[in-house]
C-alpha cells in the first residue's frame, strides 16, 4: 500500500529509517504508461521507491495550460499501489515554495534553445522544482523519460554541476501502438485530432529534412513550433488544435 505524505517532516523521519537503495520518480500526476515504465524500473532496481505528484506552476508559461492540466489523484494512487510504489509525496505549493519562487535555478546555454526558446522561463521552473525535490527525497537514483529529452539532459547536467548525490537515469519513450508518445496532454485531443497525431512521430523518424517535415505537417493541419536537429537527435514541437505535443528521435 502506497503511503501518502503531505508533510515534509514526516518524510524526513521516514527517510532516516530507510535501509537500502531508494529510487525516485517525480511527476505532475495524470499518470500513464510512460510514467508506469519509470515506476517499474525504479521498483526493479531499488529496495524502496518514492513518487511525487505536484503540478508545478512555475514551469507553465501559459496560465491556461496550467488550468487545463488534468488532475487524477485517485487513479494515480491506484496505479502506484498496483506497482508497489512505497511512498507518494503530495505537497502543496507553499510547502515547496516557502520563498514564493524568489530563488530559482537558471541554466544559460542548452535551456535557451528548443523548448526554452518557445517557452520562456519554463526550464527555470523545471530545474528549480526538481532541485527542491531531489534535496527533499535524497534518493540514490531518479528516473526521467526520454520523451522530454532536453529536460532529462538539463536535470542530469544540474546534478553534476551542483555535486548532487542522486544519479539521473533516463528511460525510453513509451508509445501507443500507432507511435504517438504517451503524454498527459493526449487526453485533451479530439477524436479527429487524435487520429492525426501519429503523423508527427512518423515524419520525425523519416529521412526527410526538417524543412520538408515542417511543410508536410503544416499541410496536414499542424501548427509547428519547431523541427530541429541538435547533437544527433531530432526534436519537434507542434500544436494540434490547442494541444501542444513534443517528441524526439535519435538520428
Q: Tell me the backbone φ, ψ of residue 245, rounded to 5 degrees.
A: -120, 140
Instruction: Give the residue carrying C-alpha cell 503530495.
Output: 90
Q: Which of 35, 118, 120, 122 is catalytic?
A: 35
Question: 132: alpha, beta or left, given left = phi > 0 and alpha = psi -120 to 50?
Answer: alpha
Closest CA to 218 of 236, 191, 235: 236
35 is catalytic: yes
Q: Please give the helix or strand (H or E) that residue 51 lies within, else none.
A: strand 48-53
Q: Look at strands 87-89 and 22-27 and give their pairing.
A: unpaired
Closest CA to 20 of 3, 53, 43, 2: 43
Q: Which residues are identified as catalytic?
A: 35
Amino acid at each position: 500500500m502506497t503511503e501518502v505524505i503531505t508533510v515534509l517532516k514526516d518524510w524526513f523521519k521516514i527517510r532516516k529509517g530507510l535501509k537500502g537503495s531508494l529510487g525516485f520518480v517525480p511527476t505532475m500526476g495524470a499518470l500513464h504508461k510512460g510514467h508506469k515504465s519509470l515506476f517499474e524500473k525504479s521498483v526493479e532496481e531499488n529496495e524502496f521507491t518514492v513518487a511525487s505528484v505536484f503540478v508545478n506552476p512555475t514551469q507553465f508559461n501559459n496560465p491556461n495550460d496550467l488550468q487545463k492540466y488534468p488532475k487524477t489523484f485517485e487513479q494515480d494512487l491506484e496505479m502506484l499501489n498496483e506497482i508497489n510504489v512505497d511512498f507518494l509525496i503530495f505537497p502543496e505549493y507553499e510547502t515547496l515554495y516557502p520563498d514564493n519562487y524568489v530563488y530559482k535555478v537558471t541554466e544559460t546555454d542548452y535551456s535557451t534553445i528548443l523548448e526554452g526558446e518557445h517557452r520562456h522561463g519554463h526550464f527555470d521552473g523545471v530545474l528549480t522544482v526538481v532541485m527542491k525535490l531531489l534535496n527533499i527525497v535524497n534518493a540514490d537514483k531518479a528516473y526521467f523519460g526520454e520523451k522530454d529529452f532536453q529536460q532529462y539532459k538539463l536535470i542530469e547536467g544540474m546534478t553534476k554541476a551542483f555535486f548532487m548525490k542522486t544519479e539521473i537515469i533516463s528511460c525510453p519513450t513509451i508509445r501507443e501502438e500507432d507511435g504517438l508518445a504517451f503524454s498527459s496532454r493526449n487526453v485533451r485531443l479530439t477524436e479527429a485530432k487524435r487520429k492525426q497525431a501519429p503523423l508527427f512521430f512518423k515524419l520525425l523518424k523519416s529521412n526527410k529534412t526538417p524543412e520538408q517535415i515542417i511543410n508536410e505537417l503544416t499541410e496536414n493541419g499542424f501548427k509547428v513550433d519547431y523541427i530541429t536537429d541538435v547533437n544527433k537527435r531530432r526534436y519537434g514541437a507542434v500544436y494540434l488544435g490547442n494541444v501542444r505535443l513534443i517528441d524526439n528521435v535519435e538520428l
